[in-house]
Chains A and B, each alone.
Chain A
């Protein structure tokens, strides 16, 4: 936390302004009053880009969600903003057909595809004969800034698309977005990555850049494509398939637990209004859901979000005590419920009080959840698994969960974790669990199980060697003495387990920082613990990498690199790569670097990342031996439940909707 004063120059709000301007341009291009029909999967993103009042200023009268069923509307211009999905095309054509029967209501239709139009959608519209009736456009909303250091493509279920369906569309979107980003912040000189999709993305990105530059060379424009300064010095790309263990674990940070318990969508959490404390009247039993934004504008939340949940209660009471001192200084408040009573008495609730009330209530609810004996047993088994303890009675617990008909997501999370840390499950248990699952949860899960084995989450033990134990030791994933109050290692986010993904990033940032950091004594595998305790001065880094690493004076070389950790990376699935992108003007970049500015790395997760990983990266950036800021870009934010859910064969809902249709 030493050089936080030299704040990074890049601000994610630029991206918001970009997206905002494009939306307004679209709205202004349509004269007169209009109604919007928004795809529910992007409404969260849109609400972060533009508030309703702004849309109103630009002629929007009503906003609807795009959904099945009848849609009667009186208006002149109807603007659809949606993802290029088949199902959306179906809804839209239904609307158009329905309205065409009504001669009094002549509507102009517009469809804006987010982020890009696709041939197949246009084809569908042609086939049903409405293509001529609609104006088609694109709204390039790709990167959505969720916070100052957090960007998301908000592409739900990206893991399933990439690793189950092999659908690389989202990678194309990411590559396009990254290129656009580079036209704002400059070419990112160094790119490293791990995983098949990461590699594919890098190739796509390079191809797109070449294409763009070729087109640019043909044009007469003299404006350079990319700014000369590179604000971001490196890009680290990680496939989710490199680390599937982390999301299977229960997140133990405040924000992570909120996500596990309530679910956070595009920074919003939906809470019972009684929890939010908007109504003073506690007898009011209206169980309405209220959407609450969770971001760094809430000062208290930004203080709490990355902490281990164990500490949150204490901090809340400290804050409460401080507020109390400010106002009264009489009562002595100790427990959470006392705090709530106290807050309830305050008349003038300012933002801080409201925030305190919200987080106190939420903390209390989450605490109830964490005190549950099932939760604790679940956590205990989980922590044993990641520590490599998979004894018979622990495995039996999963059987018990199935017999108790615990939610299938929970069961599968634990089974997947077991499978991942064991490098597959023994044939006999594998068959047993498969049978138990389909007989207990239903035969539709034949497909769920098949999906899980395809993405490698739950599979039969094969001949290949189980690499997890070596990964665990090499990356020092398990840390026993965690001090949640003043953590000295990222493993605090899971109370003793460090996410593999972030450990890899830590290695990449530490190792090649050869001037200020002592290099690890590499024997067969390097052990980051020796780096973490930075009193290690021995330097016998004399393997075959040393020659390539001897670029001591070349300061234009970014110091993010996989060099020195290839052995560990080999244990994890997918190829690794390390590339330099040609930078347009090196000297300016150098000048900038020589200033005392903190370096920025963009960390890109393909297939989603968790809040705990975000928290650990924030933690890392404050460590003295890292000396850089991280900006995170992810395809979407996930947790174990959402990840597993996307792979579960959901037939029940379909049946239900079908049967209701038949009855109506």
Chain B
């Protein structure tokens, strides 16, 4: 299993290519549904992060999904955060934790009160 290879690529496009190869290998094994699904998500996240970096001029790559959502909330990309939440089917509990932490971080007392 050489998913790690993809991390060695500095360029996002070639990383995604590597992950797609890994995905193919995983798909051949019936017991690897989790790996298939997660690698798929990983590719999707990288694409979204790349887009976000272009739009916001901020670093998003290397962040995990939760961290990405957290960062979106902090820089005011609330709509994007909600989209990520539904797209990756984030459990409600985790999403509220992320949101709560983001509100604290940005000193959004009003938001905290309405929480």
List residues 1-18 of chain B with CB under 8 A from any CB of chain A: 1, 3-4, 7-8, 10
A436-B94, A651-B7 known; A441 vs B64 contact (CB < 8 Å): yes
- Across the interface, B1 reaches (CB within 8 A) one of A404, A441, A447, namely A447
A596 to B34, CA, bound (A): 62
Q: Are A446 and B39 in contact (CB under 8 A)?
A: yes
A594 to B55, CA, bound (A): 84
Q: Are A440 and B65 in contact (CB under 8 A)?
A: yes
A4 interface residue per 8 A CB criterion: no
A444-B4, A446-B3, A655-B7 known; A403 vs B94 contact (CB < 8 Å): yes
In chain B, what residue has the closest Cβ to A659? B10
CB distance from A446 to the nearest CB of B (A): 5
A403-B93, A403-B97 known; A446 vs B64 contact (CB < 8 Å): no
List residues 105-164 of chain A with CB under 8 A from any CB of chain B: none
- Across the interface, A443 reaches (CB within 8 A) one of B10, B45, B90, namely B45
A547 interface residue per 8 A CB criterion: no
A175 to B67, CA, bound (A): 47
A443 to B41, CA, bound (A): 8
> Is the contact region of chain B dominated by helix, strand, or loop, or is it mixed?
helix
A482 to B53, CA, bound (A): 57
A662 interface residue per 8 A CB criterion: yes
Q: Are A654 and B38 in contact (CB under 8 A)?
A: no
In the complex, what residues of B have CB within 8 A of residue A22's CB? none
CB distance from A337 to the nearest CB of B (A): 32
- Across the interface, B7 reaches (CB within 8 A) one of A402, A436, A440, A444, namely A444
B66 interface residue per 8 A CB criterion: yes
A399-B93, A439-B66 known; A446 vs B7 contact (CB < 8 Å): no
A405 interface residue per 8 A CB criterion: yes
- Across the interface, B66 reaches (CB within 8 A) one of A434, A440, A662, namely A440
List residues 21-39 of chain B with CB under 8 A from any CB of chain A: 34-35, 38-39
B62 interface residue per 8 A CB criterion: yes
- Across the interface, B10 reaches (CB within 8 A) one of A438, A651, A652, A658, namely A658
Q: Are B7 and A438 in contact (CB under 8 A)?
A: no
Q: What class of interface size applies to chain A in its complex with B?
A: 20 to 34
CB distance from A462 to the nearest CB of B (A): 12
Q: How many contacting A-B pairs (Cβ < 8 A)?
A: 68
Q: Are B34 and A434 in contact (CB under 8 A)?
A: yes
A441 to B7, CA, bound (A): 15
In the complex, what residues of A have CB within 8 A of residue B93's CB? 399, 403
CB distance from A652 to the nearest CB of B (A): 7
A556 interface residue per 8 A CB criterion: no
In chain B, what residue has the closest Cβ to A651? B7
A649 interface residue per 8 A CB criterion: yes
- Residue-by-residue, is B30-65 near A (CB-CB < 8 Å gives 1, otherwise 0)? 000011001101100100000000000000001011
CB distance from A397 to the nearest CB of B (A): 13
- Residue-by-residue, is A388-429 near B (CB-CB < 8 Å gives 1, otherwise 0)? 000000000001001111000000000000000000000000
Q: Are B4 and A443 in contact (CB under 8 A)?
A: no
A404 to B98, CA, bound (A): 8
Most buried by B among A435, A440, A446, A449: A446
- Residue-by-residue, is A618-659 near B (CB-CB < 8 Å gives 1, otherwise 0)? 000000000000000000000000000000010110110011
In the complex, what residues of A have CB within 8 A of residue B65's CB? 438-440
Q: Are A440 and B1 in contact (CB under 8 A)?
A: no
Q: Are B4 and A447 in contact (CB under 8 A)?
A: yes
B-to-A contact residues, CB < 8 Å: 1, 3-4, 7-8, 10, 34-35, 38-39, 41-42, 45, 62, 64-67, 88, 90-91, 93-94, 97-98
Inter-chain pairs besides A443-B41, A658-B8, 18 sampled, C-beta below 8 Å: A399-B93, A399-B94, A403-B94, A403-B97, A404-B97, A405-B67, A434-B34, A438-B64, A439-B90, A440-B66, A442-B64, A443-B42, A444-B3, A446-B42, A447-B1, A649-B4, A658-B10, A662-B10
A-B contact pairs, 24 of them (CB 8 A): A399-B93, A403-B93, A405-B67, A434-B38, A435-B38, A436-B91, A436-B94, A438-B65, A439-B65, A440-B65, A442-B62, A443-B38, A443-B42, A443-B45, A444-B3, A444-B4, A444-B7, A446-B39, A446-B42, A450-B1, A651-B4, A652-B62, A654-B7, A654-B8
A-to-B contact residues, CB < 8 Å: 399, 402-405, 431, 434-436, 438-444, 446-447, 449-450, 649, 651-652, 654-655, 658-659, 662
